[in-house]
Amino acid sequence: MYPVWETCFTTDQGCVLNYQDPTDPTPWTTQKCEIGSLSSAYLTVEGAEDVQHAFAFAKSTGTLLSIKNTGHDFFGRSVLKNSLALWTHNLNSVRTHSSVEGGQGDVNYTAITLGAGAQWYDVYHITSLLWEGIIPPLGAGYSVLTPTLGLGVDRALQFKIVTPDGICRTANEYQNTDLFWALRGGGGGTFGVILESTILATPQLTPQGFDIVNRTEETARNFLKLIIDNGVEWSEAGWGGHMYPNNSVSVNPLLTPEEALETMKNAFDYTLALNGSVVIEEMPSFFAFFEKYVTAADVVVGVNPVLGTRLIPKSIFFNETAKAQLLNAFAAMLPFATALLAYFRLGERLCGRFMTFPFPKEKENLSLPYRLSSRRRSRGMPTDAEKQEVFSLVDSITQSLRDVAPDSGVGQTEVFIYEPDFETAFWGNNYSRLLALKHKYDPNGLLDCWRCVEWQGAQDERYSCYPDSS
């Protein structure tokens, strides 16, 4: 139930508002508004010294630490009861440059360096106005631009970080290379506090975008089949997008308007035959697409959904039996949940098989994961019975996807909080190396977070507010 991790699930302490009207006092007229899982104290991080002092303080006093950026964390790792929270919100600088520290003089990039607190909407807006409209990748590890621009780890060039041993380090392909490797997929809140990240940017593009609406739940299964049958072809043409039972939004920065119509003709024809509607247009910039379509579909906050995710390998889509199993798994949730399906074309080393640098061209475009998010909502605090029902339901749905692709894995950003064998699901055979690096850079175990590298386990006092897995 990801947006309301500020609430302590085991004690029902918190202050959940009416998500449709936050000014409505009704939810708390008969209940006490409490701090819940929020930290006891917050330290506004203005620079490396603040983090170094916090690590020294935690080491000498045993104080628990947590890291709070500007955004959310679907795993609840940005809040921790009884902790000192390191708040990086004010590290919000955005600048552009063409090289990284220690690099060769003949290697130039179009790169953007972002403070840890920079918000993606602001970054997109700034870069659309300045620097000839360069495009950074989306904030998550994978996105609607992944088919054409790759994963977040593909585009990471450098990190400035304070590690728990108190040292401020620069990690890139030339220095602290082991740490650079770990930070590109090893998980946040584990190896230190990142102050800024440098990422590869792309010259401005004029993407084609489409919006399909007005399908019904009765026809959604057939549209799911259409996506499963055509997803590989669409993603190889450059399309990436999100699908709900009653609408789909996708973008492609590679095609002309005529090519866009041709590549998606079967989807458009299907929708129009059912009296649905199709809008396809060329956008002047990615920011224009983002502002019109992505922000308009923002997920409501203050509700209590549960996420379940699985990455589906490309091979599944060439196996008729597996495709039928996948369709049944997706279709089974339509009566009660909101499905989010994303068709992306990814590199071979996805999901714990980290990218090398630079990204080898011959390894591109060999995997196609679908992302499923099953959501159940409630206003205010759910009852214990509601919690158990929703968690059991999402676990069951997610298990049906694990059965389709048992040797695959999941991303760490949107995943069921009790994903079994999470070390393998997140990192594959890289976990032992990540664990060794955790010991190297955090020898005193000052940082720990839910299902991170060297997680202390659900029985640790840090996680007393997480719901019982039973």
Share of the chain above pLDDT 90, in %: 36
pLDDT digits (tens, 9 = 90+) for 286-324: 888 888 888 776 666 666 677 788 888 888 889 999 999
Q: Is pLDDT above 80 for 453?
A: yes
Q: Is pLDDT above 60 for 140?
A: no
Q: Is pLDDT above 70 for 369?
A: no
pTM of this prediction? 0.89
Domains, the chain, with CATH or none: 94-200 (3.30.465.10), 208-425 (3.40.462)
Q: What is the rounded distance in angstroms from the CA atom of residue 13 to the CA atom of residue 372?
A: 30
Please state the three-class secondary structure of 319-364 as a single string: CHHHHHHHHHHHHCCCCCCCCCEEECCECCCCCCCCCCCCCCHHHC
Dihedral sign computed on CA atoms, order 412, 81, 118, 437: negative
Which residue did the predictor score with more confidence, 279 or 338?
Answer: 279
Instruction: Specify the pLDDT at position 131.
Output: 66
Q: Is pLDDT above 80 for 419?
A: yes
Helix, strand and coil in the chain, % to nearest 5:
35, 15, 50
pLDDT digits (tens, 9 = 90+) for 11-59: 888 887 777 787 888 877 777 888 999 999 999 999 999 999 999 999 9
